[in-house]
């Protein structure tokens, strides 16, 4: 009898082990699933907090400059940006103006035709580049500033674009003082950004581009440090 009982116990133990082993992958998959959900939720929360911080930092009103700079750079994309930059140049806030990212129709003659009172200063002191994006704007700004020995720049662009523009130019010109001159559109003055789906989408898109630019610049800096180290 003991031998029979011993065989029965041994058989039961042998049958229970495969069941326990078969449950292990299921527990592991559930654990991975919950961990993935927690990571995704944390990432979404961080992005949401970052977006609030990004919007909070955006200027709601245009400023009055209390200092001058060696040069002025305007990142084109709106007619009011160029007009404001030319006005700053005419007021003596900088010695030369770079219109970065200008399209083929934007020339000294066209600007002078639209702003005849500024024609003399436009003919003598305005330069152009045809870069296609913000990174290209920053690279061309670096070349322009270094070729002229400028150590300070006024940066003119839309208020929502200013954080990314300043980050990109500062990355290219770490030793140059940058003075932001944000241009606030009439639409943003008239209504809050969340009142328009189009404006909200623009703000979210610009925030994501800003975050991507920051990540790219950090990775490039780290790669450069590893290469020199």
Residue 112 within a domain: yes
Domain hosting 76: range is: 71-186
Query: E strands, 110-175, where?
Result: 126-128, 152-158
Residue 24 within a domain: no
Number of domains making up the chain: 1
Residue 163 within a domain: yes
The mean pLDDT of the chain is 84
pLDDT in tens, 189-228: 778 888 888 888 999 999 999 999 999 998 887 777 677 6
pLDDT band at 73 (very low <50, low <70, confident <90, very high): very high
**pTM for the full model?**
0.79
Burial 204-220 (b: 16+ CB within 10 A, else e): eebbeebeebeeebeee
The CATH number for 131's domain is 3.40.50.1980
Cα–Cα distance, 62 to 65 (Å, whole number) = 10
């Amino acid at each position: 009898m003991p031998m029979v009982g011993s065989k029965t116990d041994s058989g039961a133990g042998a049958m229970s082990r495969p069941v326990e082993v078969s449950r292990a992958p299921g527990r592991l998959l559930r654990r991975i699933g919950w961990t993935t959900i927690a990571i995704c939720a944390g990432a979404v929360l961080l992005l949401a907090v970052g977006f609030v911080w990004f919007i909070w930092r955006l200027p709601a009103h245009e400023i009055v400059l209390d200092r001058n700079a060696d040069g002025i750079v305007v990142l084109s994309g709106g007619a009011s940006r160029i007009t404001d930059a030319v006005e700053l140049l005419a007021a003596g806030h900088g010695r030369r103006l770079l219109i970065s990212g200008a399209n083929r129709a934007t020339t000294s003659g066209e600007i002078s035709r639209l702003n005849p009172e500024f024609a003399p200063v436009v003919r003598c002191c305005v330069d152009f580049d045809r870069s296609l994006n913000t990174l290209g704007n920053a690279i061309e700004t670096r070349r322009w500033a270094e070729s002229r020995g400028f150590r300070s720049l006024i940066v003119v662009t839309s208020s929502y674009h200013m954080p990314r523009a300043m980050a990109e130019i500062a990355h290219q010109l770490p030793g140059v003082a940058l003075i932001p001159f944000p241009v606030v559109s009439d639409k943003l003055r008239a209504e809050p950004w969340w009142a328009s789906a189009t404006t909200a989408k623009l703000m979210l898109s610009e925030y994501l581009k800003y975050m991507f630019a920051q990540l790219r610049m950090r990775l490039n800096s780290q790669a450069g440090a590893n290469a020199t180290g």
